[in-house]
Amino acid sequence: MVLFWVSVIALTALLYVLLDGFDLGVGILFLFSRNESNRRRMLAAISPVWDGNETWMVLTGTILFGAFPKAFGLILSAFYLPVIIGVCALILRGVAFEFRHNAKASRPFWDAAFAGGSLVATLVQGIAIGALVQGVPVRADEYAGGLFSWLTPLSFLCGLGLCVGYALLGAGWIVLKSEGALRDAGYKLIPWLMAGVLIFLAIAFASALALHAVILQRWIHRPYLAIFPAIGVLAVMGVVHGVWRRRDHQPYLMATVIFAAAFVTLAASLWPYIIPFSLTVTQAASPLSSLTFMAWGAGFIALPLLLSYTGGAYRVFRGKVLEGGSYE
């Protein structure tokens, strides 16, 4: 049951990154668009799915609370401030998304709120991931750090890296869902964003190896783990090929493979720790009776329903966004 719930929480976290990642990325790219027609089409490309994408974050947090309460308590204690900032940014972004449609004089404010909320939410997510990898100070199963222990040069660099990564997903989604000048703009951005993602991934991986001898030894003794970065390299080549041949679906799909490869590489480097290197998944897990009880509700009912709803939504709203903001 522990392995089952680890797999489920990994799946929901990855789905959140891939799905909410592209609509946050579109919000970040909103900063660089000054054309109102393009902005409307950017919003139309994510409007049917953006709120559903955030459901995966809620489900991930719920599962973490129920299945791994010790980890939930430590993570929340360590990241109270970034969690609050991130939630407020997402709220501001959601309000701006709805209000700008009918706003006239105040539209520039709501545009800034939408783009700024997307940027801040992404930045704090990346900072939290970087701080978690760098190490959360734990003493006697309790958080032993300060209010700003999560804010370090490495964690801030990871935050910037995630902003670039989400922007890459967003540019891929724009190419997938648009035509004309907006699609061309997405194609122009992808190579630069791809280069930025590779630089940040290389720095993050090298820093993790330098900070934790355990990770370095793990990669030395388990060379087969290199298959996951290799998949990421092939996906990078797929992005380049998709841009070169103007295959609209390929850049986004290959970008999701890059994110998935990076996610699995990180998980393999830290396993079996859920709080590196203080708390393992076994130590953090709820009693077997609780895990089994949760499986019937969250595992066998809620998760399949959410997967079905998400798949159905993307199928219904497939196709390109037209100039007026409607779908083909």
pLDDT on residue 170: 93
Confidence of residue 323 (pLDDT cuts 50, 70, 90): low
- C-alpha–C-alpha distance, residues 92 and 187, integer Å: 29
- Is residue 1 pLDDT above 90, yes or no? no
Taking residues 102-126, report their average pLDDT. Answer: 89
Q: What are phi and psi of 271, to 5 degrees?
A: -55, 135
Percent of the chain residues past pLDDT 90, beyond the cut: 30
pTM score > 0.85 for this model? yes
Taking residues 291-300, report their average pLDDT. Answer: 79
pLDDT on residue 213: 65
Overall number of domains in the chain: 1
Percent of the chain residues past pLDDT 70, beyond the cut: 97
Residue with the larger pLDDT of the pair 276 and 68 = 68
Candidates 86, 78, 39, 81; CA nearest to 58 is 86
pLDDT on residue 325: 55
Domain membership of residue 324 (yes or no) is: no
CATH number at residue 242: 1.20.1630
Domain membership of residue 83 (yes or no) is: yes
- C-alpha–C-alpha distance, residues 135 and 208, integer Å: 10
- Is residue 25 pLDDT above 70, yes or no? yes
Q: Give helix then strand counts, H and E, for the chain.
A: 14, 4
The separation between CA 115 and the C-alpha centre of its own chain, rounded to angstroms, equals 16
Domain membership of residue 288 (yes or no) is: yes
Taking residues 60-83, report their average pLDDT. Answer: 88
pLDDT on residue 50: 85
Structural domain that includes position 121: 2-316
β-strand 279-280 against 273-275: which pairing, if any?
antiparallel
Taking residues 174-203, report their average pLDDT. Answer: 90
Candidate from 46-50, 220-224, 253-257 with smallest mean pLDDT? 220-224
**Where does residue 141 fall: left (phi above 0), alpha (psi -120 to 50 degrees), or beta otherwise?**
left
Domain membership of residue 9 (yes or no) is: yes
**pLDDT tens digits for range 243-258:** 999 998 999 999 999 9
Candidate from 37-41, 63-67, 100-104, 110-114 with smallest mean pLDDT? 100-104
pLDDT on residue 205: 78
What is the sign of the dihedral through the CA atoms of 316, 320, 325 and 326?
negative
Please answer whether residues 199 and 282 qualify as being in contact, where contact means their C-beta atoms are separated by less than 8 angstroms: no
Domain membership of residue 218 (yes or no) is: yes
Domain membership of residue 323 (yes or no) is: no
Residue 181 Cα distances to 16, 31, 147, 185, 187, angstroms = 29, 17, 46, 6, 10
pLDDT on residue 85: 93
Domain membership of residue 326 (yes or no) is: no
pLDDT on residue 175: 92
Q: What is the DSSP string of 112-136?
A: HHHHHHHHHHHHHHHHHHHHHHH--
Residue with the larger pLDDT of the pair 213 and 57 = 57
34 token code pair = 């000054």
pLDDT on residue 327: 46
Domain membership of residue 291 (yes or no) is: yes
- Tokens 């295959």 correspond to 247
**pLDDT tens digits for range 147-185:** 888 888 888 998 999 999 999 999 999 999 888 888 889
Candidate from 6-15, 70-79, 116-125, 221-230 with smallest mean pLDDT? 221-230
